[in-house]
Amino acid sequence: MLDSGVGGLSVLLALRRLRPDLDVLYLADSSHAPYGERSLSQVAEITHRNVGYLLAEGATVIALACNTASAAALHDLRRTHPAVPFVGMEPAVKPARSLTRSGVIGVLATDATFQGELFASVVGRFAEDVEIVARACSGWSDLVESGSIDGSKAERAVARHLDPVLEHGVDTLVLGCTHYPFLAPLIAKRAGAQTVIVDPAPAVARQIARTARLRGTGVVRFVASKDPAHVESIGQQLTGWPLSVAAMV
- Distance from C-alpha of 109 to C-alpha of 153, rounded to nearest angstrom: 19
Give the Cα separation of 228 and 248 in Å (integer).
9
- The answer to whether 66 is a known catalytic residue is yes
Q: Contact at 8 Å (CB) between 221 and 246?
A: yes
Element holding 53 (H helix, E strand)? helix 40-56
Beta 62-63 vs 86-87: how paired, if at all? parallel
Residue 75, SS3 per DSSP? helix
Tally of CB atoms within 10 A around 204: 25
The sign of the dihedral angle between the CA atoms of 73, 177, 145, 19 is: negative
Beta bridge partners, 140, equal none
Q: Cis ω on the peptide bond leading into residue 164 (within 30° of 0)?
A: no
In the set 123, 177, 197, 231, the catalytic residue is 177
User: Considering 2, 12, 27, 66, which one is annotated as catalytic?
Assistant: 66
Q: What is the DSSP string of 181-234?
A: GGGHHHHHHHH-TTSEEE--HHHHHHHHHHH--S-----EEEEESS-HHHHHHH
Q: CA-based angle 25:201:209, to the nearest 5?
A: 55
Cite the active site residues: 66, 177
